[in-house]
Chains A and B, each alone.
Chain A
Amino acid sequence: MAGSGKAINAESAVEFDRRNTDWYVDKAIQAIVFVGGISTIIFVIGIFVFITREGLTFVFDTLDVKEFLTSEYWDPSDEDAPEYGILALIAGTASVTGLAMVVAIPFSLGAAVFIGEFATGKTREFLKVLVELLAAIPSVVWGFIGLSIMNPLIIEWFNVPVGLNVLNAGIILGLMAAPIMTSIAEDALKAVPDRYREAAEAMGATRWQVIYKVVLPAAKNGLLGAVLLGVGRAFGETMAVLMATGHSINIPTSVFDSVRALTATIAAELGETAVGSDHYGALFTIGIFLFLITFIINLLADLVVRGVRKG
């Protein structure tokens, strides 16, 4: 019997450099994950480069940046004197987004507080699933609702000639943004440790005092992040605003004015422009503008959620 330790070692020689299939599988998976991860970044940068390249020649050669941002006349298809002012479009987008937030913030925060703090068990699970489902409704469906349901209602209720306006698009967009905001706000509430609630309750605070004095302040950053992401969502939305705003160039003076949004302008006009023309370049410049704004909003939301304080 080869009983001694020395003999065993000699028989099964130790090979520290032996590679079996597990090693290869591991390396392969690592490579795939790496490519997958890096590709997202590459694609985003690629898109940015593409948009910039298409728009930049126009920006440098033709565009008067000051006029672009401050003129309210957008008439790129005029043969003799095309006008490229996006102020009215900015006003359209801003007014609709603003109204959307007025609608969405109370709804989404209220829903988040109810789901996170009051609902229990099955109700809570059901509501959470429902909110996720609502977030998945295609925007064209929302646009359809704006066009065919809200439009006649607004005309009838407020006795105005056109129901496709800031009010219509603001409500539609607010309802669209609310589910995602609810979802994120609820996550923020859930992240507040339960021992804070318990402490406040044990001191005699009522349910509402616990929420108002303890939970909401503690979740402040997350809630603000939710609102900012909602703004980003509303800002970048295209199809629903195209259908519900009335799509007419206008600096609105009331919620019953029709407006046109930046996004909708690109969607409606890009197909009809000649590649490389000034009009084409102007639309891409709007694209760059949108990209920058949404980028800033999302970055801000991200920073706020992480609790980085400004200043």
Chain B
Amino acid sequence: MNTHADQKHAIRTRGLNLWYGDFQALFDVNLGIERGLITSMIGPSGCGKSTFLRSVNRINERLGYVRIEGRIDVLDQNVYDPTVELVQVRKQVGMVFQRPNPLPISIRDNVIFGHRVHNKGKKASAAEEDEIVEQALRQVLLWDKVKDRLKHKGTELSLEEQQKLCIARLLPVKPEVLLMDEPCSALDPKGTEAVEELIWELKGKYTILIVTHNMAQARRASEKCIFMLLGKVVEYGDTDALFLTPKESQTADYIEGRYG
């Protein structure tokens, strides 16, 4: 991937601490997620990896009792700046959830939803929308399966197809970053394989940050890997190196299955 030197990182955090009420979930996280790469986050349940992911697009704030210190820069702008418009942040940062969550509307409307939200005023014609929908669904390898039932509800698809749809609906908005929160954990092995394949297809076009507790998946599907434990980043490096020659003993213990 050819990246500009000054724009190496799509996401950069400095001194990030996060509390749920009185419980501190993240401790002084300093991370730079490189543009255009697939970075995976691994670690045992409750280590803060999902929390980290969900604070990048600030969806965590829905809970209402979250407090944050430090900063997260996305594309060189602090998303926690008081003047930030969440809508603009979320245009740049798309998210795929653990449980596929297509909206209870038609497949077509699901794909075009984000595009409509972000293109108020200049309403696309039906033909333009068709084009956008087809492109997005083709990119997620779903077009041939659903092209004859675009009017059907997105929630009627199989879980694997739902998850692909959830990825497809992010693409028309042209985000820079895709956050994926254990996107395969609700899928069977075949679905997992299909979605992983899709993630590889998207490599290079987007900066992808993927949380998983499936280490094999992290190893297969990512170029960089972050290992977290108890709210702290333990190790961050090339995936191959991290799995073959971990620098920290805790990392070694985890990938060898001694806990987690």
CB pair B94–A202 under 8 Å, yes or no, is: yes
Q: Which residue of B lies closest to A192 (CB)?
A: B104
Give, as a whole number of angstroms, the nearest-CB distance from B120 to chain A. 10
Give which listed residue, A120, A197, A201, A214, contacts B64 with CB less than 8 A: A120
A205 CB-CB contact with B under 8 Å: yes
Of residues 92 through 141 on chain B, the ones whose CB sits less than 8 Å from some CB of chain A are 94-95, 97, 99, 101-105, 113-114, 117-118
CB pair B95–A202 under 8 Å, yes or no, is: yes
B190 CB-CB contact with A under 8 Å: no
Give which listed residue, A120, A197, A204, contacts B117 with CB less than 8 A: A204
Say yes or no: A196-B104 contact (C-beta < 8 A), given A201-B59, A203-B170, A205-B117: yes
Say yes or no: A199-B103 contact (C-beta < 8 A), given A204-B117, A204-B173, A209-B117: yes
Give, as a whole number of angstroms, the nearest-CB distance from A217 to chain B. 7
Q: How far is the CA of A205 from the CA of B118 in the complex (A)?
A: 8
User: In the complex, which residues of chain A have a beta carbon less than 8 angstroms from the beta carbon of B64?
Assistant: 120
CB pair A204–B114 under 8 Å, yes or no, is: yes
Give, as a whole number of angstroms, the nearest-CB distance from B117 to chain A. 5
A218 CB-CB contact with B under 8 Å: yes
User: In the complex, which residues of chain B have a beta carbon less than 8 angstroms from the beta carbon of A199?
Assistant: 97, 101-103, 166
Stretch at the interface among B83-91, B143-151, B191-199: B83-91
User: In the complex, which residues of chain B have a beta carbon less than 8 angstroms from the beta carbon of A19?
Assistant: none
User: In the complex, which residues of chain B have a beta carbon less than 8 angstroms from the beta carbon of A255?
Assistant: none
User: In the complex, which residues of chain A have a beta carbon less than 8 angstroms from the beta carbon of B87?
Assistant: 204-206
CB pair B114–A198 under 8 Å, yes or no, is: no
Say yes or no: A200-B103 contact (C-beta < 8 A), given A120-B64, A195-B97, A206-B87: yes
Q: Which residue of B lies closest to A205 (CB)?
A: B117
Give, as a whole number of angstroms, the nearest-CB distance from A224 to chain B. 16
CB pair A198–B105 under 8 Å, yes or no, is: no
User: In the complex, which residues of chain A have a beta carbon less than 8 angstroms from the beta carbon of B169?
Assistant: 203
| Residue of A197, A199, A203, A217 most packed against chain B (CB within 10 A) | A203
Of residues 142 through 198 on chain B, the ones whose CB sits less than 8 Å from some CB of chain A are 166, 169-170, 173
Q: How far is the CA of A198 from the CA of B96 in the complex (A)?
A: 11
Say yes or no: A196-B90 contact (C-beta < 8 A), given A120-B64, A203-B117, A213-B113: no
B57 CB-CB contact with A under 8 Å: yes
Q: How far is the CA of A196 from the CA of B166 in the complex (A)?
A: 12
Q: Which residue of B lies closest to A214 (CB)?
A: B103
Of residues 31 through 46 on chain A, the ones whose CB sits less than 8 Å from some CB of chain B are none
B4 CB-CB contact with A under 8 Å: no
Q: How far is the CA of A214 from the CA of B109 in the complex (A)?
A: 11
B258 CB-CB contact with A under 8 Å: no
CB pair B118–A204 under 8 Å, yes or no, is: yes
User: In the complex, which residues of chain B have a beta carbon less than 8 angstroms from the beta carbon of A214?
Assistant: 103-105
Give, as a whole number of angstroms, the nearest-CB distance from A64 to chain B. 51
User: In the complex, which residues of chain B have a beta carbon less than 8 angstroms from the beta carbon of A213?
Assistant: 113
User: In the complex, which residues of chain A have a beta carbon less than 8 angstroms from the beta carbon of B101?
Assistant: 195-196, 198-199
Q: How far is the CA of A196 from the CA of B88 in the complex (A)?
A: 20
Give which listed residue, B59, B88, B99, B102, contacts A202 with CB less than 8 A: B59
Q: How far is the CA of A32 from the CA of B104 in the complex (A)?
A: 43
Q: How far is the CA of A214 from the CA of B64 in the complex (A)?
A: 21
Q: How far is the CA of A200 from the CA of B90 in the complex (A)?
A: 10
CB pair B90–A202 under 8 Å, yes or no, is: yes
User: In the complex, which residues of chain A have a beta carbon less than 8 angstroms from the beta carbon of B91?
Assistant: 204
Q: How far is the CA of A200 from the CA of B118 in the complex (A)?
A: 12
Q: How far is the CA of A195 from the CA of B186 in the complex (A)?
A: 14
CB pair A202–B104 under 8 Å, yes or no, is: no
User: In the complex, which residues of chain A have a beta carbon less than 8 angstroms from the beta carbon of B89?
Assistant: 204
Q: Which residue of A lies closest to B99 (CB)?
A: A195
Give, as a whole number of angstroms, the nearest-CB distance from A123 to chain B. 12
Q: How far is the CA of A194 from the CA of B169 in the complex (A)?
A: 19
User: In the complex, which residues of chain A have a beta carbon less than 8 angstroms from the beta carbon of B102?
Assistant: 199
Q: How far is the CA of A217 from the CA of B59 in the complex (A)?
A: 23
CB-based closest 7 A-B pairs: A204-B90, A199-B101, A203-B114, A195-B101, A202-B95, A204-B87, A218-B104
Q: Give 20 pairs: A residue, B residue, CB < 8 Å, sorted on A.
A: A196-B103, A199-B97, A200-B113, A201-B59, A201-B90, A202-B57, A202-B59, A202-B97, A203-B94, A203-B114, A203-B117, A203-B170, A204-B86, A204-B87, A204-B89, A204-B90, A204-B114, A206-B87, A214-B103, A217-B104
Q: Besides the contacts A203-B90, A217-B104, what 10 more A-B pairs have beta carbons closer than 8 Å?
A: A120-B64, A195-B99, A199-B166, A201-B59, A202-B59, A203-B114, A203-B117, A204-B86, A204-B118, A209-B117
A contact set with B: CB distance below 8 Å: 120, 195-206, 209, 213-214, 217-218
